[in-house]
Amino acid sequence: MIIICETKATEVQINALQEKIREAGLVAHRSDGVEHTVIGVVGDRNRLDVGVVSMMPGVRDVVIVSTPYKLASREFHPEDTVVRVGETTLVGGMDVAVMAGPCAVESVDQIEASAEFAAASGAQILRGGAFKPRSSPYSYQGLGLEALKLLRQAADKHGLAVVTEVMTIEQIDTISEYADLMQVGSRNMQNYPLLIALGHAGKPVLLKRGMSATIQEWLMSAEYILTEGNPDVILCERGIRTFETATRNTLDLSAVPVIKHMSHLPIVVDPSHGVGTRRFVAPMARAAVAAGADGIMIEIHPNPDKALSDGPQSLNFEEFGLLMNRCRIIATTIGRRLGKAK
Ligand code: PEP
Ligand code: MN
């Protein structure tokens, strides 16, 4: 249930409403929009008499939300949510954020060169795996804590924020010391204890779509984080499993407008894992910006052929620079601003 307050509702009236909800044993989530304050009510709604609530002072409307996700729904929060990452980067609204970096941090030289080029090309967020969720236990697993330090150092030197994946609850404290944005990988999208813990981590979360998840299941996972009190969730489309084998996954770009319709949360697109092959990354990145994505996440490497993970889908610096120029033009054409302001 969502309670939409009158434009002129007073603080006393809003507090009384929240108190009424709590008395009924339900949880109230307040969201102050441009025009209205909206209160999302979570819990068994039979405990609250809709007739009584709609007659309370300051109430304009009571809407029963039919979707299982409530706080992630557009109805709860009609305006787009804009998430701040680090000190200066905004994801959502007018801005299209750029996250770039290697699949995994491999060495000081590799991450330093990547950060330098990413920043010079206008990216704002440095990516790089420290703890890697590899499909094979024999593949490169990442440098762990050492990688976090290298990422932070390179990012600070070039004025970038840091995004890196957190795989377990135990890693949250350490990773949040070094990262500005906590990535939940595709394989962990339905790791509910991890999502609940990230609801209390005090850092924004980049929630990748599970490789077999429907959009509704993905939004339900976002709901786990939101309902624990963390409003800063960014969704990331990274491709889903279909019968097609010509690409690593099938990048579901229709998820961009669909999510925009269903939810207020920002959505970014990761074409690198979506297609898995270098030559297909740039066209899909450009299409993602044209479709209205709030950001793109691109794997880049100083020498992709020597990369320890995901080399075949990583762009070299020249390819990335060209892609940035083209994406900037597309963003401007649709009235948005891509990457760092020049
Ligand atoms: C990644 O971004 O490093 C990654 C492992 O992606 P995904 O979880 O989408 O497979
Ligand atoms: Mn990768």
pLDDT tens digits for range 15-53? 999 999 999 999 999 999 888 999 999 988 889 999 999
Q: What is the DSSP letter of 209?
A: P
What DSSP letter does each residue of 252-283 carry, written as one string?
-TTHHHHHHHHBSS-EEE-HHHHH-SHHHHHH
pLDDT for 342: 65
Residues 122 and 338 sit within 8 Å (Cβ to Cβ): yes
pLDDT for the residue 35: 87
Expressed in angstroms and rounded, the spacing between residue 156 Cα and the centre of ligand 2 is 22
71 belongs to a structural domain? no
What pLDDT digit, counting tens, does each position of 237-287 carry? 999 999 999 999 999 999 999 999 999 999 999 999 999 999 999 999 999
Q: List, for residues 52-85, the tens digit of each pLDDT value.
A: 999 999 999 999 888 999 999 999 999 999 999 9
CA distances to 57, 170, 256 from 76, in Å: 20, 32, 19
Q: What is the CATH number of the domain that holds 22?
A: 3.30.70.1140
Whether 100 and 16 map to the same domain: the answer is no
Rounded Cα distance, 194 and 173, in Å:
12
User: Which CATH number do you get for residue 320?
Assistant: 3.20.20.70
Answer yes or no: do 239 and 283 share one domain.
Answer: yes
Q: 17 lies in which domain range?
A: 2-63
Residues 53 and 171 in one domain: no
Whether 146 and 225 map to the same domain: the answer is: yes
Question: Do the domain assignments include residue 78?
Answer: no
Burial class from Cβ neighbours inside 10 Å (0-12, 13-18, 19+) for residue 228 reads middle
330 pLDDT exceeds 90?
yes
Domain-embedded: residue 75: no
The Cα 117–Cα 158 span in angstroms is 9
Residues 104 and 27 in one domain: no
Residue 69 counted as domain residue: no
Cβ of residue 238 lying under 6 Å from some atom of ligand 1 = yes
Whether 307 is in a domain gets the answer yes
Percent of the chain with pLDDT over 70: 100
Q: Which ligand is nearest to the CA of 135?
A: 1
CA 130, CA 106: separation in Å to the nearest integer? 9
The domain tally of the chain equals 2
What is the CB neighbour count within 10 angstroms for residue 317?
Answer: 20
> 217 pLDDT band (50/70/90 cuts)?
very high
Please state the atom number of ligand 1 nearest to the C-alpha of residue 297. 2
Atom 9 (ligand 1) nearest CA: 186
Domain-embedded: residue 77:
no
Is 264's C-beta closer than 6 angstroms to any atom of ligand 1? no
Name which residue sits closest to atom 6 of ligand 1, judged by CA.
185
Q: Quick check: is 74 in a domain?
A: no
331 and 224 co-located in one domain: yes
Same domain, 22 and 98: no
pLDDT digits (tens, 9 = 90+) for 145-189: 999 999 999 999 999 999 999 999 999 999 999 999 999 999 999
Q: What is the pLDDT of residues 293-321, one digit of tens each?
A: 999 999 999 999 999 999 999 999 999 99
The reply to whether 6 and 98 lie within a common domain is: no
208 CB under 6 A from ligand 1? yes
**Together in a domain, 120 and 205:** yes
